Chains A and B, each alone.
Chain A
C-alpha cells in the first residue's frame, strides 16, 4: 500500500508541476484479478492509481498502438522492470522521444497469472483478492483461499532477472536489484535434451491448440507493424487456418520479428486463451541472441536492437563449408 501512496503523490506532483500532460498507470479493475489501465490528466484522478500483483498490463503498448494520442504531449508512465525495457525499446525504435516521457519505476514482485488462480479455485469465480506480499488471498462464493505468491505468479515473473526499471526518472520504493534466477532456463535445457522427433511432437501438440485469435500479438509491446504479415493478403504468405503448420509458422515468424526485442514480459502467455507455453520459443530466441550477439533487449538506451545491427567478424559455423 505504501508504494501505491507514494505513486499517487508522485503523479499528483508531476501533474501539478506540469511536467506531464498525461500519466499512464493502473486502477482497480471491475474484475478482481486484473487491474485496468488508468489515464490521469488531472490531480484528483491520481487517487485512483494502484500498484499491486494485479497490475500485469504493459502500459508501453499505448506508445506504439495508440501513437496519435501522444503526439506533442508529455507523458508519464508507471513501469515494472519489463515495462521499462519496452519503453527503452520504443525510444530506440523512435516511437517516442526520451524527453517526452517521464518514467516512474516501481519495485515489482511479479504479477498474477489469472489462469493459475482459476486453476486453484477449480474455476470458481473470484470475487475479491487481497495482496499480502508473500501470500495472496482469494475469496469467492463459499471459498476463502490463501495462496503462496509463487503459485500464482506469471511464469515470466518466476524467471525474471530485472524486476526493477533500468531506465527511469523517479524510482519509488526499494529496488530489488538483479535476481540471478539460475534455474530460469531449466525448462528449455530439458527440452533440448530430447530427440528431434520428440521435440517436434511436443511442439506440434502445443501449437495444435492455437486458434489464431492473435491475442498474443495484440498484447505484445514489441508487435506494432501497421499491417501484420498474417493479415496481409497480397501476397498472402500464410494460410489463415488453425491447422498446425500455419499456426506454428505464425508463432515462429512472430518470434523472429521480436527477436532481440522481446523483453519477456509474458503478456502473450497470460493473454493466451488456449494456455500455450509461448515463452518456450521467446526464451530460446532471447537465449540465442544473448549467446551470439551479447544483447539483452531493452537494457541499453544507447544501444541498437540486436537484429538491426551486425559485426563483421561474427561466428558463422552454421554456414556450409
Chain B
C-alpha cells in the first residue's frame, strides 16, 4: 500500500478562503489530496462543536480558515471566531488531544499559493501524528 493519506476537514469561509482554494485550483497548484471542504458563510459561523464532531466521526485533522482580520465580509465575524478558537485550541491540548490536529489560518481570496502551502503543512503535521484515535467514537 502506498503512503497513508490523512483525511482532513477544511472548513472555509465563503468570501476569502473558499475563493483562495478555488484560485489554487484554477492556477493548477499542487497540494496533497487530503482535504474535504465544507463552505461556511463566515469563520464566525464555525461552532467548536463542528470541530469536535468531525474529530469524533473519524477525521484525522481539521483546518478552519477565514478572512484576514479586518477583511471580514461581515465586518467582525472573524474577530469573534478568533476569540472562540483562542480558547478552544489550548483547551483541546489541555484535555490531551494532539495540538496539531486542529489548526486555524487566515487565507484571502488572492492567496492561492498560501492555501496550497497551508494544506501541505497541515497534511504533513497530521501525517506525522498518524491516524486519529483519541476522540474517535468506536461503535
Using known A-B contacts A289-B87, A307-B84, determine if residue A200 contacts B134 with beta carbons closer than 8 Å: yes
Cβ–Cβ < 8 Å partners of B87 in chain A: 256, 259, 285, 288-289, 292, 307
- The interface residues of chain B lying within 8 Å CB-to-CB of A281 are 91, 94-95
Contact B94 A192 (CB under 8 A): yes
**Quick one: which of A238, A243, A311, A319 contacts B106, CB cutoff 8 A?**
A319
Residue of A nearest to B56 (CB): A245
A255 / chain B contacts, CB cutoff of 8 Å: 91
Residue from the list B76, B96, B97, B104 in contact with A310, Cβ < 8 A = B76
Q: Would A285 and B91 count as touching, CB distance under 8 A?
A: yes
> Out of A192, A249, A288, A306, which one reaches B52, CB within 8 Å?
A249
Is the beta-carbon distance between B91 and A310 smaller than 8 angstroms?
Answer: no
Assembled-state Cα–Cα distance A319/B103 (Å): 7
State the CA gap A229–B88 with chains docked (Å): 17
A114 to chain B, nearest CB (A): 27
Would you call the interface of chain A mostly helix, strand, loop, or mixed?
Answer: helix
Question: Are A196 and B105 neighbours in the complex by a CB distance under 8 Å?
Answer: no
Does A293 interact with chain B (Cβ within 8 Å)? Answer: yes
Count A-B pairs with CB separation below 8 Å. Answer: 115
The total of chain A residues at the interface (CB under 8 A) is 45
Within 8 A of B (CB), among A275-311: 281, 284-285, 288-289, 292-293, 306-311
Specify the chain A residue showing the minimal Cβ separation from B99: A196
Does A253 touch B at the CB level, under 8 Å? yes
Residue of A nearest to B118 (CB): A320
Q: Is B130 an interface residue, CB under 8 A from the partner?
A: no
Q: Known contacts A314-B83, A318-B85; is A249 also within 8 Å of B95 by CB?
A: no
Q: Smallest CB–CB gap between B106 and chain A, Å?
A: 6
Q: Is B86 an interface residue (CB 8 A)?
A: yes
A246 to B56, CA, bound (A): 8
B11 on interface, CB distance cutoff 8 Å: no
The CA of A249 and the CA of B50, in the complex, are separated in Å by 11
Closest 9 A-B residue pairs measured CB to CB? Answer: A200-B96, A199-B96, A310-B79, A320-B105, A203-B95, A245-B137, A249-B52, A318-B89, A245-B56
| Residues of A near any B CB (own CB < 8 A) | 191-192, 196-204, 229, 237-239, 243, 245-246, 248-249, 252-253, 255-256, 259, 281, 284-285, 288-289, 292-293, 306-312, 314-316, 318-320
Pull 30 A–B residue pairs with CB atoms less than 8 Å apart, ordered by A. A191-B94, A198-B96, A199-B94, A201-B96, A237-B53, A239-B137, A245-B56, A245-B135, A245-B137, A246-B137, A252-B48, A253-B52, A255-B91, A256-B91, A259-B87, A284-B90, A284-B94, A288-B90, A289-B87, A293-B83, A310-B79, A310-B83, A312-B79, A314-B83, A316-B86, A318-B89, A319-B85, A319-B104, A319-B106, A320-B105
- Known contacts A288-B86, A312-B79; can you find 16 more A-B pairs with CB under 8 A? A196-B93, A197-B96, A198-B96, A199-B96, A200-B97, A201-B96, A245-B135, A246-B56, A246-B137, A292-B86, A306-B83, A310-B80, A310-B83, A315-B86, A316-B69, A318-B85
